[in-house]
Amino acid sequence: MLRFIIRRTFVGVLVLVAVAVITFALTNTAVDPAQAIAGDSATADDVRAIRELYGFDRPILVQFGAWFGRAIEGDLGESYRQKRPVIDVVTERLPVTMTLGISAFLLAILVAIPLGILAGLRPNSWLDRLALGFAVLGQAIPNFWFALIGIVIFGVKLRLLPVSGSDSWKNFVLPSMALAYYAMPTLMRLTRAGIIDTLQSDFIRTARAKGLRPHTVVLKHALRNAILPLVSVSAVQLGMMLGGSVVLETIFAMHGIGYLAWESITMSDPPVVQAVVLIIAAFYVVLTVLADIANAWLDPRLRAR
Amino acid sequence: MKFRSLVAAAALMLAQMGAMPASAQKADNILRWASNAPLTTVDPYFNYHREAIILDGQLVWDTLIYKPAEGPYEPLLATSWKWIDNTTIEFKLRKDVTWHDGKPFTIADAVYTFNYVSDPKNGVNVQSNVNWIAGAEAADDETLRLTLKKPFPAALEYVSTLLPIVPEGFYGDKGVAGSNGRLVGTGPYEIKEFVPGSTIRLAAFNGYFDGSPKGKPTFAGVVYRNIPDTSTQIAELLSGGIDWIWRVQPDQAKSLAGMPGIKTLSDETMRISFLSMNLRDMEGGNPLQDIRVRQAIAWAIDRNEIVKQVIGTGSNVINSPCFRTQFGCVKDVNEIGYDPEKARALLAEAGYPNGLSLKMVSYENREWVEALSGYLAAVGIKLDVSVLDYKTARDRVVNNQANLMMGNWGSYSINDVSALLNNFFTMSPDDQARDQTVADALLAAAQTADPEARMKDYDYAVRRIAGELYWYPLWTHPTTYAFNADLDFRSFPDENPRFFLDRWTNR
């Protein structure tokens, strides 16, 4: 198991290095950082002076080496626009995205898994059809539409919830619902399919033959096997949610890292863009490694692969 | 995006049924407004957004002199001023002004501000706002001497609008606003909270000096929130979360206009739209080098109809490549109307009887771009249109990758054509016409303080730009505001809401 963990972690680190290289290359070729700092009305001399001042006239590999060296030590540079350490800019936006992502993920799990189990236990019943209808609707409705309708009903008409911002827990209710509903269909359908498959297995028939109570068979034996694919998909979904939703953060005026990424791109602030991409990639990598470890723990056969 | 707009419109209609804005803000005498600009720094010099000028430049900090909506400049931090020669202005400063932390405003603060912001190494965002300043010094303890690099007649326009005075040492060694521990101004409101990119909370400054043309603070506080999405801004306005928004789309304004408790106002601004023609050599030839093609483009577009049907109230067709109140804006230039037959004939005469294809970039409203493209298509001019953000569109223009650019310019609210035409016709990378005579006239006009000489140069430049159709002037931009009906709000053509003049009614 330890070798498996080391191997997976090593692959994760390689992915992060690759992301760092690609992000640095893309942001530095898409935007001339000296021009971005100097502004549109700067003269060629102004741009040249800034290029020399910041070291943008050095070979790109040297620049990357310097940036990457600092990044490993936790120094992600300074925002060109805010003139503050990038790490400060990003970390002050993280709590909003983390709160939104985790609450949406928990909501998605709490609704999708029980619904998937119920649908899987009675395939083709009215309950199953209802659950599938709920899932299809979730996949079909764009989350910004769901968000806007939520704002109109709960924010403007009923005035039960705030329309935008991130000042209190109430601000997170609508965006969490919108983000969760986007993730629910996949989780629900996977749970349902897993339960249906597993309930047809020999070991379940054996468990039933032994006279185990139905809920023990479902929750202790069937669910453990059924959730194997769910763990991997959940990791991706959680990664997506923690990466911030540009659309939802924009609609609800929540200043998280999704909105920060968009804001930094439009304001030509490459150090912040690089940091946000790297942090989102780190979320994905860590969650994927954790999901792999969880899967290997649940199914020892995976450790040998 | 279109689908999203439809959804937003539907949502707005739903919201319309029975929604009434709350007035908690009115009771607290707080003004809450929102816009889509993320203010990531609090000072007005390191910001690209107009909101920073409105909020920080006007409410928190003061300029040396004040520019009223009409009439001559008025004293603000300076009691008087005079041009010593073409490159020197002297200002007598007030001695009864204090910063928000109670320390006295001194001449050292003004000297520091001008010297700091004019140093290119410090990288103020809009260099053209400050790159005409050679430096500032104290002639005595109340006389500031501002030296210009060369004659710059619009200097007082900039001093009165875009160059507020910050305390000495404000930017510290690293260039961060307030890093000397004094995030303070002399204006009618002081900063209470700043959340980068999100919120700025201001409170009335009770020690604001008597005799300021801005008057004493009318609100107990002003709160700015960055709400990027217009639909959310409207929902906040309807739910009473905010009191004032702007740049509302015409269709949304129509829906809002009928709602109880909400007022809408569409007014003309100094921002003008134009169609810029690229006359440089291009790979495979450039049809626009033939003036008949440029004329055909102009005659093919029914600007009046676009203004009436698409843009709406507050917009007007313009014939001069400038805003009518700007110094140097000659108004009696040649007028071009709508005559598609004439456009077709001109195209045939130029050797394009079957029409032609052109590349156009734009950072304008997509619907306006589509309307204009439709008129050109009707006479056989097919456009390959890219609607982009300003920076990307400008890159294409600078790199000679487009025949046409449909753009707009607000002149930074400067009431002088130098803030508009000198950006586009002085052989800079943005100059697509490359007419040396126009560039010479504009540069000459910008380097003398003699109004007659300036007017003569502008007369030549403006007539030539319009006559040669380097630009086809299109229309003025309206700005539509929507706000709580109890707010006494006035708009101004320079796109600068002066919140210090507004107040709640019937409190």
How many beta carbons lie within 10 A of that of residue A220, not counting itself? 12
Q: What phi and psi values does residue B163 have, to the nearest 5 degrees?
A: -125, 70
**Residue B507 confidence (pLDDT):** 64
**Residue B357 confidence (pLDDT):** 96
The C-alpha of A239 sits at a distance from chain B's nearest C-alpha, in angstroms, of 24
Residues of A in contact with B117 (CB under 8 A): none
B175, B196, B241 ranked by CB distance to A163: nearest = B241
| Cβ pair A151:B235 closer than 8 A | yes
d(CA B284, CA B425): 25
How many beta carbons lie within 10 A of that of residue A273, not counting itself? 23
A168: left (phi over 0), alpha (psi -120 to 50) or beta: beta
| 3-class secondary-structure state, position B455 | helix
**Residue B444 confidence (pLDDT):** 92
Closest chain A residue to B172 measured between Cα atoms? A83
Say yes or no to pLDDT of A26 above 90: no
d(CA B143, CA B147): 13
The residue type of B320 is: S
Say yes or no to pLDDT of A13 above 70: yes
Say yes or no to pLDDT of A82 above 90: no
Say yes or no to pLDDT of A275 above 80: yes
The C-alpha of A273 sits at a distance from chain B's nearest C-alpha, in angstroms, of 15
The C-alpha of A254 sits at a distance from chain B's nearest C-alpha, in angstroms, of 8
Residues of B in contact with A47 (CB under 8 A): none
Say yes or no to pLDDT of A305 above 70: no
Average confidence (pLDDT) over A210-231: 80
Beta carbons within 8 Å of B327's beta carbon, 6+ residues apart: B154, B415, B416, B417, B451, B454, B458
B41, B226, B391 ranked by CB distance to A253: nearest = B226
**Residue B27 confidence (pLDDT):** 75
| Cβ pair A250:B41 closer than 8 A | no
pLDDT tens by residue, A91-110: 999 999 999 999 999 999 99
Residue A211: Cβ-neighbour burial (10 angstroms; 0-12, 13-18, 19+)? exposed
A84, A92, A250 ranked by CB distance to B229: nearest = A250
Q: What is the mean pLDDT of chain A?
A: 86
pLDDT tens by residue, A170-198: 999 999 999 999 889 989 999 999 889 88
| Cβ pair B41:A157 closer than 8 A | no
| Cβ pair B123:A81 closer than 8 A | no
The answer to whether A272 faces chain B, any CB pair under 8 Å, is no
The answer to whether A68 faces chain B, any CB pair under 8 Å, is no
| Cβ pair B11:A159 closer than 8 A | no
**Residue B2 confidence (pLDDT):** 46
Mean pLDDT in consecutive groups of 10 residues from the start of chain B, 507 residues: 50 50 70 92 83 88 92 94 93 96 96 94 82 95 95 91 94 84 94 92 96 95 94 94 92 86 92 96 93 97 95 93 94 93 97 96 94 97 92 88 94 88 92 96 87 94 96 95 95 89 86
The answer to whether A188 faces chain B, any CB pair under 8 Å, is no
d(CA A104, CA A245): 11
Question: Which of B262, B219, B261 lies closest to B480, judged by CA?
Answer: B262
Say yes or no to pLDDT of A45 above 80: no
The C-alpha of A42 sits at a distance from chain B's nearest C-alpha, in angstroms, of 6
**Residue B154 confidence (pLDDT):** 87
A223 alpha carbon, distance to own chain's centre: 25
**Residue A225 confidence (pLDDT):** 79
Say how many CB pairs under 8 Å bridge A and B: 120
**Residue B18 confidence (pLDDT):** 47
| Cβ pair A156:B239 closer than 8 A | yes
The residue type of A100 is: L
Does this complex have an ipTM over 0.90? no
B120, B231, B239 ranked by CB distance to A148: nearest = B231
Model-level pTM? 0.82
| Cβ pair B48:A267 closer than 8 A | yes
